[in-house]
């Protein structure tokens, strides 16, 4: 298992895997070459992650959603940049810090497969201070 897989598994335990899915969808979108492909993929990302009541709606402020909604009829490869940046910040400052303390991460760095979650939880013998110098950077997985 690599870091991205482990982080994605962790996000699923927190019911927030839409964040990493959205981030990767945006990365894939930026690789589009043909105008028709840009329009189709932009609409698909908007409907899946941005619009109100989207199946995998990401947590964005009203202003960011409005800007994207207005640009979706003539999208550019950078239409989702502000939203992608916001979702990245949410993961970096919130989910990723918890991930670094999770059993999923500990098993990843120890190179052991994770036990099924219905077994007794491993004791947490570390403190938050041990992780203060750890830099939260999702780009290390890419």
> How does pLDDT run across 55-105, given as a tens digit for each residue?
999 999 999 999 999 999 999 999 999 999 999 999 999 999 999 999 999
Burial class (CB in 10 A: 0-12, 13-18, 19+), 101: middle
* Residue 111's pLDDT band (cuts 50, 70, 90): confident
Q: Among 117, 128, 26, which Cα is nearest to 79's?
A: 26
Q: Which domain holds residue 87?
A: 3-141
Section 32-52 average pLDDT? 96
Task: Write the CB contacts of 115 (distance below 8 Å, at least 6 apart in sequence).
Answer: 103, 107, 122
Long-range Cβ contact pairs of 126-134 (< 8 A, separation 24 or more): 126/101, 128/101, 131/97, 131/100, 131/101, 134/100
* Better-scored residue on pLDDT, 133 or 51: 51
- CA distance to 39, 65, 138, per residue, from 4 (Å): 28, 27, 8
Task: Supply the CATH number for residue 60's domain.
Answer: 1.10.167.10
Section 99-128 average pLDDT? 66
How many domains does the structure of the chain reveal? 1
């Amino acid at each position: 298992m690599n870091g991205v897989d482990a982080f994605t598994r962790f996000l699923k335990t927190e019911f927030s895997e839409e964040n990493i899915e959205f981030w990767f969808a945006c990365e894939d979108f930026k690789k589009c070459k043909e105008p028709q492909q840009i329009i189709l993929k932009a609409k698909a990302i908007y409907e899946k992650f941005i619009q109100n009541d989207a199946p995998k709606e990401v947590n964005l402020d009203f202003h960011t959603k409005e800007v994207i909604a207005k640009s979706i009829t003539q999208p550019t490869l950078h239409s989702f940049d502000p939203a992608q940046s916001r979702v990245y910040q949410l993961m970096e400052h919130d989910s990723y810090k918890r991930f670094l303390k999770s059993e999923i991460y500990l098993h990843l760095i120890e190179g052991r497969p994770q036990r099924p979650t219905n077994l007794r939880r491993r004791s947490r013998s570390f403190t938050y201070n041990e992780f203060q110098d750890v830099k939260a950077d999702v780009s290390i997985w890419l």
